[in-house]
A and B are shown apart, each in its own frame.
Chain A
Amino acid sequence: MSETILNVQGLTVDIPLAAGTLQAVRGIDFELKRGETLCIVGESGSGKSLTSLAVIGLLGKRLKVGASKLEFEGRDLRSLTRKQMQALRGDRMAMIFQEPMTSLNPAYTIGDQLAEALQLHRKVSKAEAMARAADLLGKVGITAAESRLQQYPHQLSGGLRQRVMIAMALMCEPDLIIADEPTTALDVTIQAQILRLLADLKREMNLALILVTHDLGVVARIADKVAVMYAGEIVESGTAKEIFDAPSHPYTRGLLDCIPVPGKTRPGEPLGSIPGIVPSLIGDVSGCAFRSRCVLARETCSGRIPKRSASGEHTYRCIQETLVSEVA
């Protein structure tokens, strides 16, 4: 039940640019067990999407991926050939992207695209694949599934398209699903439905789910584990309860102060904000990358930053350890 599906240690993603190497992901660790949801949360440029793409092996050749450990179901992903990786992708691990319009092929019917996802990996007839497609469309809450199979993506609404994407990810009964901002392009009412669907499917099929998002509300409601990323690093990680009840890194606390919360923030009162902008990650980056925006920054922040353990699985990277006791 609690077997580790994914084990990532020291993951780095470097982007070679004319101006130097951009260290987009700088040595991050995480583990995921079957039946768990990990939310990777961060702002644009934090490296959260690159992290998920690195795991599923969809980064371009130009980008350099490094890791001291990158294991999926006990297999070392670093040693796999392109072909072996292709066989794994879409079969054991699947991905759901943000824009359901651009990730479906407009020239093929929903049925063709769903069936292809299965036929690439299994020796099944088209009819069998179509039957499974219809079955899964029903499972993701699409009514009249049989007739939908004959439709093209443009005939479906955004919410329906995202359901089709989820059905496609499920075609081979994967063990790991990575969803990159799956609800950002959708209406709030549809967002709630899609998130519920993902949570239900995860429980029912005992999947591991990685959800990449910038929305702390989504994270709180769906995550078992949370990794907060800033400038290519995981600055804080722990269970959802630990992170939201006792946010310890100044960045996490800053983020939580920035969002209006009905019933908590007073209407009209100024919201918290984080001054400054994300630093450049080109060339050598040392010390805490958040120090230029941190109200608690001191000189030692430019040195080595220890990883502190708060309680249980809860860890954060900060020069100061007083924060946790303050919160408690």
Chain B
Amino acid sequence: MANPPTEDAIVIQDVVKNFRKRTIRGEYTTFKSELVRWLRGNRAPKQNRFIESLRGVNLRIPKGQTVAILGRNGSGKSTLLKLITGIYAPTSGSITVNGRISALLDLGAGFHPDFSGRENILINGIILGMSRAEVRAKMDDIIAFSELGEFIDEPVRTYSSGMYMRLAFSVATHVDPDILIIDEILAVGDEHFSKKSMAKMTEFKRLGKTIVLVTHDMSTVERWCDQAAWLDGGRIRRMGTPAEISAEYRKAVSLAEARSTVFTPPALTEGGGALPGLPEGAPVTDAPPPVPQVAVSRVWLTGPRGEELGTIAPETRAEVCIDYVAREAVEDVEFVLTLASADGPVLYATSTRTDRVPLPTPLPPQGRLRFVLPRVGLLGGAYVLSVELKTGNNANPEAGREARCTFSVSTEHDDRGVFRPEHAWVVEEAPAAPVQAVSVPKHAAAS
């Protein structure tokens, strides 16, 4: 095994992992099944087939980076994490890990229900790789972080599931590893605690720790990670920036859905059951994306005075600025603007074609579009603005590229719903004549 360069925390080379396929009837080899098989005269199990989970993974994870691993269910993400952690051994290939590794694959490993939180911290901490002295030294920190207070000396079986997870998470994050492996467990506890755990993760990042993360939550990936790797059909399909990868992943999934591809377990499918390649041809791993002829280079939100904003109040004026670059003369371009809340649902979508915006033909090599909103009119929360470029003729292969920006609306109103219409309340002494009363003042409810 060649010495890897020191800047890589994890080097995975040609890793293949096969699992022996168990017989259908029984999970385990039993004496009876062995006997029956032997009596029938076939010594070897009939279907000595293997489940091919990973079919040759190459991945380098540089030190100090946060890398997300994406992929559909059963694409081998967890297997890969277990291989990195050393729980499984690869069938072939090699994995080199430089540094102390801590895996948050499951919280509360080895917790004993009859023991108090304090006793379980000790044993769990040691199982996760700390020494006894280390756990004792960090005990108070861990207890403080878990916010269990008096409950720490109660048996763990009396804990609510939230308390249990909080305790387990607190121990796991205090291991102080060089490399942290996380499998879908960032959302622990209530909003307050998940904020705290996010802050802990940010601290990890700041300290230059390497984090490998498996999640299905694309917003986490885009917000958090420096790089994303897309595991598909047992191989790394692509590695790149989180925005690129998550966009492409989403598209491949929707394409598969559109083609009504049957989602079979990937590891059991011939050829790996990879998602279909995108129409422009599946990009080669690690190859730079082709330079598009026309692209949205940047989307951002500005406030009333033209300053760039990440947070905005619902009653102010705002503009969405869209910068584009056209490297060739393109005609018949359409900009599609979509506003969605951060958790997914689309709130509004329009396009230059829908609104019949006269765009210059051909497009100038560089330009900006401004989408002016006299008032934001949204409720408090996080939102995503995305702008997609479409061309009428299909001559432009990369025209589907989109750019996005996230922003949040902060407000002290606690109104609910989808949007905040312009409105005012009128209080009257006695009901006036019904028809006449509709004269609403133009003034919006100022904060």
Q: Do A and B come from the same complex?
A: no
Q: Which residues of A contact B (CB under 8 A)?
A: none
